[in-house]
Amino acid sequence: MGDPRKQHKKYRAPRHPWQKERLETELRILGRYGLRNKKEIWKFKTKIEDFRGIAKQLLALSAEEAAKKQRELMTKLDRLGLLPTTASLDDVLDLSLDDLLERRLQTIVVQKGLARTMDQARQFIVHRHIAIAGTRVTSPSHIVLRKEEDEITYAPSSPLVNPEHPIHVEQSQE
């Protein structure tokens, strides 16, 4: 069968390691989104940069060549829930890191009220209490597609499904 292809890094680290402003910004993002390390930030930042790079290439192409590729890009961004299909390339260039971090499973679990804090959401996901369309997902950094958003619930066999579970009793008393 041959050797598997070499795996490559999925992120680009900052060029300069000690920029105070960047370090402070990254620290705030770590706290706000419940990320474990800066490598997670760099991965998502790289994805945003890749989308922007594609948009810049499309702006340089002629109209006929760019139309098909632009539709593909907009369809992908719509599927990810980042932009509607009617968005323009300028909207792609305006995408920020926060837009992508808001699509993480961990963030959406907190927004839907399945967990009270980002840390609790991360724990529920890693401990297999959260499912998307009945399938358990154990990665807090999973990017939730637009069609999956309404299907996020507690896993059917999780003890958290029980309305008498202490976590639900505490929430109703508050």
Q: Report pLDDT digits (tens) over 37-90.
A: 999 999 999 999 999 999 999 999 888 888 999 999 999 999 999 999 899 999
Flag whether pLDDT at 1 surpasses 70. Answer: no
**Overall pTM > 0.85:** yes
Homologous superfamily of 105-173: RNA-binding S4 domain (3.10.290.10)
The pLDDT tens digits for 19-28 are: 999 999 999 9
In sequence order, what are the residues at sequence separation of 6 or more whose Cβ sits closer than 8 angstroms to the Cβ of residue 40? Answer: 141
Q: Which residues contact 121 (CB under 8 A, 6 or more apart)?
A: 34, 106, 107, 109, 110, 114, 115, 130, 140
Phi/psi of residue 143, each to 5°? -80, 120
- Check residues 100 and 63 and name the one with the higher pLDDT: 100
Where in the chain do CATH 3.10.290.10 domains reside?
105-173
